Structure 1
Amino acid sequence: MKPGASTFPPGGAVEVSSADEGFRGSYYSATVVSYTPKSSKYVVSFDKLFQDESGTRPVTEEVEPSQLRPLPPAELSKDEGDFEEGEKVEASWNDGWWVGEVVKCMGKGRYKVGFGEKEKRVFKKGKVRRHWEWVDGSWVDSLGRNQKSPLLMKKQSSDGMGSDELRDGVIVEVSSDNVIKEGTLVEVSSDEDGLNGAWFSGVVVEVLSEGKYLVEYSSLRADDDQMFLREEIDALHIRPNPPKIAVSGRFKVLDEVDAFFNDGWWVGIIAKLLEDSKYIVYFRGSEEELEFKHSDLRKHQEWINGKWFSSSLRLKF
């Protein structure tokens, strides 16, 4: 897997920096829609930037991994006394956070912040936060102090799924059984043309060697149609069955989902909400849009480095 693939899972809350002229030094909150290993880029949907004046169509954009960072944890942004002149800060302005420097303390919780050589603006204390840099998985402040990202472990209920981790505002569901062995219910992907983005259910019949398994599919038949198809699968194309996640209410536009059709689960994005709990789902690989019932969809999850990542488990500070 290429660098950055497991850093920001789909559904994760992030901030995106811009290299465009006039926007350098700014960060905008967004949600990760997907990651493309071939290009090593992410697609994000911005929280406060919209394509239309009514604010119903969020801006989506393909960005480099270097442009992303997690949301700064609340305890890092929390004010601990007044800011000082010369201190590096971030100010909330034009729907983003802009990196600047306190030029003058105005009193009564107000600060004049400078951006570059010319631009200076006055902000109330609630619109200013301390500046931290995201460096190699840690938050580093302007004084070089290092603060690891928050990590909270807690027991999972007795459903056999193991534990949850709180990492950068996203709960990561961890399987208690990271070893695929005989009898393990699995899903298998394929690199064949027309099958990209699909996962097919099966069971491990035999562990052939390290990293290779004999799998019998649950819905795909052999050519003679007398028995279920069996195939040798390598570790890159196999994962345990995803844990079931209850959906509270309806899916939302831009939610990443798996849709069941043609004997498999296909990764897509909710493009439109219809009546009677139905949806139009867009599939990037084929550029098709198909209609599905709610019962034929599930929340999309990614199996990365032995852990399940899901947008449904995002924690809100």
Structure 2
Amino acid sequence: MAMFFKGDKVEVCSKEEGFLGSYYQAKILSPLNNNTLYRVQYKNLVEEEDQTRPLVEIVSADEVRPVPPPVTFTKATQVFHYLDSVDAFDNDGWWVGKITGRQGSKYWVYFETTRDEIAYPVSRLRHHLEWRDGHWILANNTFF
């Protein structure tokens, strides 16, 4: 498990019902309890009581991962294929899904956790990467 320090930019994987399979950008405010917990401030989520204040939470270390590396593509190579694992940016976070089709410049993404199928422009999609043993792994097990 990676250790994070104050100021590190991370993604937090929500384990709450209705939010499974989603990742939210945050920064570490402080490590707690020998790095088994982290106090984080979210980039896009806000406090319910005061929507001008970023949401601050304490999360378990197993819910935190580094921000995935940017994968640079040219417009000609930014192509997704049927059943590719992707993250789609929606509702202030990245949601894991699979490509099920293409219509014009949009790709249809199916989300197993919600059983929704939604079309997204390429600008709101990224290849899904898994953080395992200190390495980024693409869906086809290629290490970054």
Pair in the same fold by TM > 0.5? yes
Rounded Cα–Cα distance in structure 2 between residues aligned with 1:53 and 1:113 = 33
Q: Which residue of 2 aligns with 1:90?
A: 87
Q: Aligned in 2, Cα 1:140/1:39: closer, same or farther, shift over 3 Å?
A: closer
Higher relative contact order (CA 8 A, sep 6+): 2
Q: Aligned in 2, Cα 1:78/1:35: closer, same or farther, shift over 3 Å?
A: farther
Rounded Cα–Cα distance in structure 1 between residues aligned with 2:140 and 2:35 = 35
- The secondary structure found in structure 2 opposite 1:146 is coil
Rounded Cα–Cα distance in structure 1 between residues aligned with 2:67 and 2:124 = 16
Shift of 1:57: 1.1
Rounded Cα–Cα distance in structure 2 between residues aligned with 1:68 and 1:23 = 15
- The secondary structure found in structure 1 opposite 2:123 is helix
- The secondary structure found in structure 2 opposite 1:126 is helix
Shift of 1:37: 2.8
Give TM-score, length-normalised by structure 2: 0.89
Rounded Cα–Cα distance in structure 2 between residues aligned with 1:72 and 1:23 = 19
Q: Is the 8 A contact 1:77 1:130 kept in 2?
A: no
Q: Which aligned pairs between 1:239-254 and structure 2 lie closer than 5 A?
A: none
Paired AA for residue 111 in structure 2? F
Q: Which aligned pairs between 1:87-166 and structure 2 lie closer than 5 A?
A: 87-107=84-104, 109-116=105-112, 118-147=115-144
Shift of 1:54: 6.5
Shift of 1:73: 1.5
Paired AA for residue 12 in structure 1? D
Residue 30 (structure 2) pairs with residue 23 (structure 1):
no
Q: Is the 8 A contact 1:47 1:58 kept in 2?
A: yes
Q: Which residue of 2 aligns with 1:32?
A: 28
Give TM-score, length-normalised by structure 1: 0.42
Q: Which residue of 2 aligns with 1:13?
A: 9
Paired AA for residue 115 in structure 1? F
Paired AA for residue 106 in structure 1? Q
Count of residues in correspondence between the two structures? 141
Q: Aligned in 2, Cα 1:39/1:70: closer, same or farther, shift over 3 Å?
A: closer
* Matching residue within 75, 81, 90 for 2:78: 81
Identity %: 35
Q: Is the 8 A contact 1:103 1:112 kept in 2?
A: yes
* Matching residue within 25, 37, 45 for 1:41: 37
Rounded Cα–Cα distance in structure 2 between residues aligned with 1:8 and 1:38 = 11
Shift of 1:77: 6.0
Q: Aligned in 2, Cα 1:24/1:77: closer, same or farther, shift over 3 Å?
A: farther
Structure 1 unpaired stretches of 5+: 148-317
Q: Is the 8 A contact 2:44 2:54 kept in 1?
A: yes
Q: Is the 8 A contact 1:77 1:129 kept in 2?
A: no
Rounded Cα–Cα distance in structure 1 between residues aligned with 2:115 and 2:131 = 27
Q: Is the 8 A contact 2:39 2:59 kept in 1?
A: yes
